[in-house]
Structure 1
Amino acid sequence: MPILEVENVSLKFGGVKALNDVTYHVNKGEIFSLIGPNGAGKTSMLNCISGLYKPSSGSIKFKGKDILGMKPYNRTSLGIARAFQNIALFEHMSVLDNLKLGRHVKMKTGLLSGGIYWRSAEKEEVHHRRSVEEVIEFLEMQDYRNTPVGTLPYGLQKRVEVGRALALEPELILLDEPMAGMNNAEKEDMARFILDMHELKGMTVFLIEHDMGVIMDLSDHIAVLDFGERIGFGTSKEIQKNPNVIRAYLGEQEEVS
């Protein structure tokens, strides 16, 4: 059963087509990857799914519901969360406070509510704090709970960025190059966390990543974009044998006379 259905999506910026009639689906509970050369339209696609961009045409459905007319925060409330490629954390705030801010859209009662609402607000705060602590434990950041994010190594900051999305307890998590700029040890840790999101938490993972070894090892299905068009869709084995994908990544070889 598809959890996400992208049908004939096109996106234009003036005369430039960032996406051209792209169609694919993501099954519930799988790790799905979107790959392609730089400038292929991968992040533009994530922006369409998360609501930052509005496609010029086509449809995007989440759990059978058309989400194109929804604001980003309404998509979040449905069960979609996103971690961005470029880290945009509050550097002077702790890991704990950054994750609590990521959770704020789930708050129903403000902590400053008075009178008869104070008790429900207090209970809600305890619940949300417990959820955030679970994310900290999941990402193995207990020792950095109260550390200002700006003082952390880059790899741990990327982990906090992913943690903000996890704090929303999404059904579908969108990860835009979560391993970019990491060393091999940090990549191995992130790959393990992605597998655990899938296997332990039952999340559907939508991954954009340039490390082809990681993509081929983790992915159930892969879609490939090139110049805004889908040139491949299938399993890892099918993608590795796809001549269009090989040409996009390696280029045509000229015959030597």
Structure 2
Amino acid sequence: MPILEVENVSLQFGGVKALDDVSYHLEKGEIFSLIGPNGAGKTSMLNCISGLYKPTAGSIRFNGKEILGMKPYKRTSLGIARAFQNIALFEHMSVLDNLKLGRHVKMKAGIFTGGLYWGGAEKEEVVHRQSVEEVIEFLEMQEIRHTPVGTLPYGLKKRVEVGRALALEPELILLDEPMAGMNSAEKEDMARFILDMHELNGITVFLIEHDMGVIMDLSDKIAVLDFGKRIGFGTPEEIQKNPEVIKAYLGEQEVTT
């Protein structure tokens, strides 16, 4: 069973169709990329999956379960986490505290045990802190753990944004342009982290990115949107040879190089 099934999803704002009868699926454990020109509907699709938008029509299933109608936090509890294109961190707080906030949805202790910090709540706090420490080590952020996020360079802020999503221990992570605005060295680091979360941790990765070199190197499958419609779906090799995709987005030079 695919981990994510998007079937005939449409999204309309007044007279504008942001998504038009889009279908594709993700297999568990793969890196899947959604590409297309600016305004093609890529972020709108992530908003539909994460629960920020409600599609006009269609179905979205996670591990076979229909998730349309669920609140965003319910989808998170099922195993879906998201890092945003526009950084949405608490800049006055440290890296450590931002990641700890990402664990709150997993807290199970009640108001009394949580408030008094007794018994189960104390044990739970230890477990959550260990998970956060593992994310800090995984993303190589040990030296900035106590640094206020607002003082960090842009590339490290993007890393913290991804780290907060990873702190939720997701089965599926949605990454909206995680390399936007980065230099080549920062992109190489992020590509390595994406491969490691996929290969070492078994996380299914849903990636939106404009760097076609990165997309073609990392992706197992790719879907292509143009004006809200799906115009291609397949392996990187199939996408590079798709005439409609070449005309709308890749260009002749991308295919022949």
TM-score range, shorter chain: over 0.9
- The Cα shift of 1:249 comes to 1.6
Does 2:70 correspond to 1:73? no
Gaps of 5+ in 2: 253-257
Flag as ranges the 4+ runs of structure 1 deviating above 2 A. 110-117
Q: 1:230 matched to which residue of 2?
A: 230
Q: Identify which range, 110-119 or 2-11, moves more after superposition.
A: 110-119
Instruction: For 1:80-229, list aligned pairs within 5 A.
Output: 80-109=80-109, 113=113, 118-229=118-229
Letter in 2 for 1:88: A
Instruction: For 1:23-38, list aligned pairs within 5 A.
Output: 23-38=23-38
The CA deviation string for residues 150-194 of structure 1, in whole angstroms up to 9 with x for no partner, is: 111100000000000000000000000000000000000000000
Distance 1:226 1:138, change over 3 A: same
* Maintained 8 Å contact 2:3/2:63: yes
How big is the alpha-carbon RMSD for the aligned residues of Structure 1 and Structure 2?
A: 1.5
Letter in 1 for 2:63: K
Identity of aligned residues (%): 87
Q: 2:56 matched to which residue of 1?
A: 56
Using the alignment, how far apart are the partners of 1:214 and 1:128 within structure 2? 33
2:202 match: secondary structure: coil
- The Cα shift of 1:50 comes to 0.3
Does 2:244 correspond to 1:244? yes
1:38 match: secondary structure: coil
- The Cα shift of 1:246 comes to 0.4
Letter in 2 for 1:164: R
Does 2:23 correspond to 1:18? no
- The Cα shift of 1:112 comes to 6.2
The CA deviation string for residues 29-56 of structure 1, in whole angstroms up to 9 with x for no partner, is: 0000000000000000000000000000
TM-score under structure 2 normalisation?
0.95
The CA deviation string for residues 89-126 of structure 1, in whole angstroms up to 9 with x for no partner, is: 11111000000001110011158637997111110000
The CA deviation string for residues 35-84 of structure 1, in whole angstroms up to 9 with x for no partner, is: 00000000000000000000000000000000001000000000000000
How many residues get paired? 252
Letter in 2 for 1:8: N
